[in-house]
């Protein structure tokens, strides 16, 4: 039975899944929009919302870095620097959730995977 099971497995073992999510989060923060499969975008949306809410609540930059690293399994340094920028976080002052949107695209031709764009909402 699948009671209380959460998250998607993506056909990967745990370490590969963590690395995948880490790189997706880093790319999304760095480039502010990425194209990926729909399942990966939906999983990434919930994780980004959690990290953004924690980052908004904490004022101390040192504590913010440690919380972001803990929640996101060690984001790349470029992504953490962008999180700490005042202009990046200022865009989301009035929002309590829904920091990113998932826009569905047509299926990929090669394997018919459902694709989506995930991007930050302004």
Q: Which domains does the chain have, with CATH numbers?
A: 33-120 (3.90.1030.10)
Q: Examine the pLDDT at 24 and tell me if it is beyond 70.
A: yes
Burial level of 85, CB count in 10 A (0-12/13-18/19+)? exposed
Q: For 41-57, what is the mean pLDDT?
A: 88
Residue 109 makes CB contacts below 8 A (sequence gap 6+) with none
Q: What is the pLDDT of residue 110?
A: 96
Q: What is the pLDDT of residue 61?
A: 78
Percent of the chain with pLDDT over 90: 42
Q: Examine the pLDDT at 99 and tell me if it is beyond 90.
A: yes
Q: Examine the pLDDT at 73 and tell me if it is beyond 70.
A: no
Q: What is the pLDDT of residue 57?
A: 83
Q: Examine the pLDDT at 18 and tell me if it is beyond 70.
A: yes
Which is more confidently placed, 97 or 101? 101
| Residue 105 confidence class, pLDDT cut points 50, 70, 90 | very high
- Give the Cα separation of 13 and 114 in Å (integer): 22
- Give the Cα separation of 48 and 106 in Å (integer): 24
- Give the Cα separation of 39 and 60 in Å (integer): 34
């Amino acid at each position: 039975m699948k009671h209380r099971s959460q998250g998607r497995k993506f056909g990967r073992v745990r370490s590969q899944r963590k690395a995948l999510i880490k790189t997706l989060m880093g790319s999304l923060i760095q480039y502010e929009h990425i194209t990926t499969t729909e399942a990966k975008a939906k999983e990434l949306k919930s994780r980004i919302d959690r990290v953004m809410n924690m980052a908004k609540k904490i004022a101390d930059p040192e504590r913010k870095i440690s919380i972001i690293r803990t929640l996101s399994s060690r984001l790349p340094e470029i992504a953490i620097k962008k999180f700490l920028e005042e202009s990046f976080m200022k865009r989301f002052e009035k929002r309590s959730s829904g920091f990113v949107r998932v826009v569905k695209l047509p299926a990929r031709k090669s394997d018919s995977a459902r694709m989506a764009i995930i991007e930050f909402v302004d």
